[in-house]
């Protein structure tokens, strides 16, 4: 049975604690010592209870903003708040009533508190900073006066810090305030790292880096103020999926420029990731969060070697391994490449089920390529990303500025400087990961016996001998294969009435002169049929539209000529635009033809689909199909006699494609094109789009065959009106050229 006197003391303690909390919520507690002086007989026990309540409060759940929030009608900077209304959520906090000497509670009591919006104190003297809002506290109240700032709401929180949107009273502006999340309990290392971030960011003056205004400490709470950037960040932009290459390149290029400036000032960021790249209301990037930054010539205030700092999916291999001494400008270059990878594919290059697995992948696995996840990405852009993600810092871009320059070249449509890794280097990298080779070359500081030395030497000789034999045999085999020609050359063209078949015939005439081999032209159903013939090795060379090319299956020899899209409607038809073809009968070419592929993609942009219209399974050259057609789409060289005949007889007329230039942004295989009035004797120029006719071979085609084909085209005057000049072909961006073709065009690069 408990002592009634003890029960009375406990009741007084509970009542006093409840009174303190109510006064704190109302902003009527000047400081804790003054309050304890009102209860001298209970002061020691009451102080212990208050400290315990503080600890429990710090460990509580989400903020009020996350539970529905507290709004304030205060006007800034110094107006009084209107009468506060109680918040609907009651928070129950368990508080120890009594403690053993070993720190364990004997009995606990429950205190219920109704959260409410509080009047804003008119000046700083009206409250105690011991009750500074905690972002993890279920009854933190905002807005809150903090020195010259009024904290309005939480913008974000991380492992170490919390960022508030604040109003600076004296300067009448909104800023972002960052504080250490653990507040007064922060360790010396946390404080040191916090001020390292402030100093690093404050030393940088750049339009794409957040501006730090002031840092300091108020009643044990360390903080710094910085520019408030309204908008979003790249992490939020990625939620809806991968970005377009153009948009991603522009953002990352500007990040690289900003980071290059930071490097010039001696600051390495070390925690670049999409969440730390803000996008302001002008759609410009702003790099923030220099919490892990270091000076290039100093490690002051940083964790010792062997510790890992950063975000696993975006950290470099040297970061993941904890090698602080190796973390320099190339560390940020790697992270920028990882950000670009994520923007293009929707996820970072490494992302396993756990942090440890992710770190192991970062350290040990070669980075995947962006085209493994998005085959439509340009090979030059893949090369840029792969160079950033090299395991060895020495193989990455020498600086963030060099990376930004290459990204800008790609953005402007110029050739990039980076080159894919050579076959030999890839082979060496692969061999280095064989366990036996890794064991022999990776062990250090051992003292082997004489027999161990002999065994080691014999094994190394055997491995090296096999390697040399493999390389030599492969090189010789490749050499002889490249210098050989097939006994005859088969050319896959299109239908006999088409431009491809016409060109194929002229091309076949020149091949015996160039190579001494007989050439044969095969009539086919179109580009996709030609692709199959190449894959099945029933053809050596083929013509096809660019939209039908599969870079993983074939290689390009040369772009030949443009093929504009002809949209024809009957002369007496009321149709004036493509979107009016819904519900109409449309001739779009045979199923395997490039015309069908291109027409389908074009019509989809105008919401004309096979489901809401009728596709006639015929070619425009088949006269019987024209009588039933409401429209014809023909992708063929301008000035074709068959099209000219249809127009001359006034049976059909040409439609212009509205917004042709805008459609190119979404269809990189197409380009704006004007069909001149001279082409068909029309009154007006027709605005349309065009694809490109290409000469292609299998990727493993002999170099000798490639050289013979190019010589036939460019040195035997096969070009006619409308052919793409060799200088333009040499500077063409985005085509998956055969290696021998690249070498052939090298002498023409840069010329126009």
Question: Which residues are tagged catalytic?
Answer: 271
10 Å CB burial of residue 565 (0-12, 13-18, 19+) is buried
Cα 95 to Cα 40, 151, 574, distances in angstroms: 21, 28, 82
Q: Rounded distance, CA 414 to CA 408, Å?
A: 8
Does 143 sit behind a cis peptide bond, omega within 30 degrees of 0 on the bond before it?
yes
606 CB contacts (<8 Å, ≥6 apart)?
577, 578, 579, 581
Measured between alpha carbons, how far is residue 123 from residues 25, 120, 174, 324, 329 in Å?
Answer: 16, 9, 19, 46, 46
And the tokens for 680? 């068909």
Tokens 């024209």 found at: 626
Rounded CA separation 626/384 (Å): 49
- Count of residues making up the chain: 752
CA quadruple 477, 479, 480, 485: dihedral, nearest 10? 130
Cα 195 from Cα 51, distance rounded (Å)? 28
**Residue 507, class by beta-carbon neighbours within 10 Å (0-12 exposed, 13-18 middle, 19+ buried)?**
buried
Q: How far is CA 727 from CA 274, 543, 648, 730, 745, in A?
A: 40, 20, 36, 5, 8
Contact yes or no for 384/336 (Cβ under 8 A): no
Cα–Cα distance for residue pair 292/209, rounded to 1 Å:
15
Is-contact 208 284, C-beta < 8 A? yes
Cα distance between residue 363 and residue 349, in whole Å: 12
The answer to whether 503 touches 493, Cβ cutoff 8 Å, is yes
* Cα–Cα distance measured from residue 335 to residue 367, given in angstroms and rounded to the nearest whole number: 12
Taking each helix axis from N to C terminus, what angle separates 423-432 and 435-442, rounded to the nearest 10 degrees?
Answer: 80
CB 542 within 8 A of CB 530: yes
Question: Which residue has tokens 């459609």?
Answer: 663
Distance CA 345, CA 378 (A): 13
CB 370 within 8 A of CB 389: no
């Amino acid at each position: 049975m408990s002592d009634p006197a003890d029960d009375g003391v406990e009741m007084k303690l509970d009542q006093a604690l409840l009174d303190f909390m109510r006064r704190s919520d109302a902003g009527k507690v000047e400081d804790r010592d003054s309050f304890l002086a009102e209860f001298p007989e209970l002061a020691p026990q009451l102080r212990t209870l208050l400290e315990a309540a503080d600890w429990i409060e710090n460990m509580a759940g989400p903020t009020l903003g996350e539970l529905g929030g507290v709004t304030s009608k205060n006007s800034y900077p110094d107006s009084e708040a209107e009468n506060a209304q109680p918040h609907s959520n009651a928070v129950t906090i368990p508080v120890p009533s009594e403690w053993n000497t070993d720190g364990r509670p004997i009995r606990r009591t429950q205190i219920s508190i109704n959260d409410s919006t509080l009047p804003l104190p008119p000046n700083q003297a009206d409250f105690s900073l011991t009750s500074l809002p905690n972002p993890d506290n279920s009854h933190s109240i905002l807005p809150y006066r903090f020195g010259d700032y009024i904290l309005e709401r939480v913008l974000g929180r991380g492992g170490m810090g919390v960022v508030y949107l604040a109003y600076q009273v004296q300067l009448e502006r909104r800023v972002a305030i960052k504080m250490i999340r653990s507040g007064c309990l922060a360790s010396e290392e946390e404080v040191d790292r916090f001020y390292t971030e402030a100093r690093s960011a404050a030393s940088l003056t750049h339009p794409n880096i957040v501006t730090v205004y002031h840092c300091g400490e108020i009643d044990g709470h360390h903080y710094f103020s910085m520019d408030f950037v309204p908008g979003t960040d790249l992490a939020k932009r990625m939620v809806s999926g991968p970005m377009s290459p153009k948009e991603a390149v522009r953002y990352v290029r500007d990040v690289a420029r900003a980071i290059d400036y930071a490097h010039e000032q001696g600051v390495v960021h070390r925690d670049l990731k999409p969440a730390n790249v803000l996008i302001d209301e002008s759609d410009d990037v702003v790099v923030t969060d220099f919490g892990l930054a270091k000076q290039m010539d100093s490690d002051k205030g940083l964790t010792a070697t062997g510790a890992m700092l950063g975000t696993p999916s975006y950290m470099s291999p040297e970061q993941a391994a904890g090698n602080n001494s190796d973390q320099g400008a190339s560390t940020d270059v790697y992270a920028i490449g990882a950000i670009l990878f994520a923007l293009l594919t929707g996820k970072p290059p490494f992302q396993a089920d756990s942090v440890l697995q992710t770190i192991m992948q970062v350290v040990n696995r070669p980075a995947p390529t962006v085209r493994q996840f998005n085959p439509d990405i340009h090979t030059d852009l893949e090369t840029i990303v792969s160079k950033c993600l090299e395991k060895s810092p020495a193989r990455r871009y020498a600086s963030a500025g060099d990376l930004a320059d290459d990204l800008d070249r790609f953005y402007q449509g110029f050739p990039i400087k980076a080159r894919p890794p050579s076959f030999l280097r890839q082979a060496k990298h692969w061999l280095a990961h064989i366990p036996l080779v890794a064991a022999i070359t990776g062990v250090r500081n051992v003292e082997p016996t004489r027999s161990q030395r002999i065994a080691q030497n014999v094994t190394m000789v055997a491995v090296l001998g096999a390697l040399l034999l493999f390389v030599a045999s492969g090189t010789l085999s490749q050499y002889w294969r490249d210098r050989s020609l097939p006994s005859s050359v088969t050319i896959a063209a299109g239908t006999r009435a088409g431009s491809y078949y016409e060109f194929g015939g002229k091309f076949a005439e020149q091949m015996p002169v160039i190579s001494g081999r007989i050439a044969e032209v095969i009539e086919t159903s179109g580009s996709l049929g030609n692709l199959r013939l190449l894959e099945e090795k029933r053809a050596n060379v083929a013509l096809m539209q660019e939209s039908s090319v599969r870079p993983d299956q074939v290689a390009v020899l040369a772009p030949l000529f443009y093929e504009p899209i002809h949209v024809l409607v009957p002369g007496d038809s009321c149709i004036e635009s493509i979107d009016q073809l819904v519900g109409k009968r449309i001739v779009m070419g045979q199923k395997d033809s490039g015309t069908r592929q291109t027409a389908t993609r074009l019509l989809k942009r105008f919401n004309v689909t096979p489901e809401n219209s009728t596709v006639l399974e015929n070619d425009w050259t088949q006269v019987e199909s024209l009588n039933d057609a409401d429209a014809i789409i023909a992708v063929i060289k301008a000035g074709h006699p068959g099209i000219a005949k249809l127009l001359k007889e006034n049976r059909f007329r040409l439609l212009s494609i509205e917004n042709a230039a805008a459609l190119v942004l979404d269809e990189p295989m197409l380009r704006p094109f004007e069909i001149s009035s001279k082409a068909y004797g029309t009154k007006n120029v027709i605005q349309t789009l065009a694809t490109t006719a290409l000469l292609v071979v299998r990727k493993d085609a002999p170099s000798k065959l490639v050289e013979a084909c190019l010589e036939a085209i460019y040195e035997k005057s096969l070009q006619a009106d409308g052919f793409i000049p060799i200088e333009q072909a040499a500077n063409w961006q985005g085509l998956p050229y055969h290696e021998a073709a690249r070498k052939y065009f090298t002498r023409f690069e840069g010329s126009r």
